[in-house]
Copies of this chain bind each other. A is one copy, B any other.
């Protein structure tokens, strides 16, 4: 278990901006994990066109089911960066990419995450850290502490 705090996040967002080798004209955050990233990257890259797509895992008859919902309209966009906090199994990022690419065959998509697990079925174009463990993101735990 590793705590990931705001100061580290800030350093990583600056690094992510530096390593991006394309200029997106829109950002799609996978909710909820990608929301704070999309907010800060939207500011850093001066992109107002920020969108959400929901990826929710739930248990159905003891099986994990991943539901992707609310794909946004990306009308007028050409180059989209899809962001999430961690590419864990890789299923969320892979499914989101497929859905958005199918809906928008002319848009060029790239993907970014802060953490990436090498055993995932999907490797993002950009990531900051490799990990094998569980990450406690500040946006998930700080507000729940006394």
Contacts and interface: CB of A to CB of B under 8 A. Distances in A.
Interface of A: 6, 10, 13-14, 17, 29, 31-32, 35-36, 38-40, 42-44, 48-52, 54, 56, 70, 72-73, 139-140, 142-144
B43 A143 contact: yes
A44 B143 contact: yes
A48 B54 contact: yes
Nearest to A41: B143
A64 to B, nearest CB: 15
| Complex copy number for this chain | 2
28 contacts: A10-B142, A10-B143, A14-B143, A29-B35, A31-B42, A31-B48, A31-B50, A32-B43, A32-B50, A35-B35, A35-B38, A35-B42, A36-B139, A40-B139, A40-B142, A40-B143, A43-B139, A43-B140, A43-B143, A48-B54, A48-B56, A50-B54, A51-B52, A51-B70, A52-B52, A52-B72, A70-B72, A72-B72
Nearest to A73: B70
A20 to B, nearest CB: 13
Contact of A36 (B35, B49, B54, B140): B35
Contacts of A49: 54
A70 B60 CA distance: 31
Contacts of A10: 142-143
Contacts of A140: 43
